[in-house]
Amino acid sequence: MRIFNLILVLIVSGAFISSKPYFKDEPNSMEIERINFRIDEMKSMLKANSKYNSKIAFFVDMRIPSGKNRFFVYDLQNNIIDQGLVAHGCGSETGIKGDLKFSNAPNSNCTSLGRYAIGSNYNGMFGKAYRLSGLDETNSNAYKRAIVLHHYSAVPYDEQDHYISRSHGCPMVNEQFFKRIEKIIDSSKSNILLDIYY
């Protein structure tokens, strides 16, 4: 575990890029196609804006059911170095299996799509959490809505055959997974970007 943590620190600092991605299960071809498109867009954005971390980024594919790994940590060389479960907002449920809706509106309890800058942390009702600033029109109210990245005890660690608990719009993860991404965020000298897409 100490070696893994050291590798994450080296990746964030740009000193090391792993040639072997860390993952539990290989994403399928459609998931890879979607994330590769988002990675290309992310790289273009980072070239134009140097204030964000250009070595590592987080991606959440909302087309993947919540019981499956859909939060991906990437080293932006198209290698997954970690992945885990993440909840979506309870307001995003449509009642149709596999179908979600998204909203930027206050009090909607929906997940908002778009890119976020992961900001400072604070101690909230779920413990340590990271403030998120929406960078797109689709998530511009994130700060106003108190949309943050946090962990929650009801989010399982392992993949499930059913849907997991839902949030009030926050990307909410398992505590064990949170501890790993926390090390990455806290080791980064610049803000890491989180991209939630569908």
46, 54 in Cβ contact below 8 A?
Answer: yes
Please report the pLDDT score of residue 187 as a whole number: 97
Quickly count: other Cβ atoms within 10 Å of residue 13's Cβ: 14
Give the domain ranges of the chain.
2-197
Q: What is the pLDDT of residue 110?
A: 98
pLDDT, averaged in runs of 10, over the chain (198 residues): 44 38 62 92 93 97 96 89 97 90 98 98 96 98 98 97 96 98 98 98
At residue 11, the pLDDT reads 43
Q: What is the pTM of this model?
A: 0.86
**pLDDT for the residue numbered 5:** 46
CATH annotation of 2-197: 2.40.440.10
Question: Do residues 116 and 194 touch, judged by C-beta distance below 8 A?
Answer: yes
Hey, what amino acid is at 7? I
Q: Give the integer Cα–Cα distance in Å for 51 and 22.
A: 27
Asked if 190 and 57 touch (Cβ cutoff 8 Å), the reply is: no
> Helices 175-187 and 2-13 meet at what angle, rounded to 10?
40
The reported pLDDT for the residue numbered 9 is: 43
Q: What is the pLDDT of residue 49?
A: 87
pLDDT at site 29: 85
Provide φ and ψ at 125, rounded to 5°.
-65, -20
pLDDT digits 0-9 by tens, 134-178: 999 999 999 999 999 999 999 999 999 999 999 999 999 999 999
Closest by CA position to 36, among listed 88, 8, 65, 77: 77
**How far is it, in rounded angstroms, from Cα 61 to Cα 81?**
16
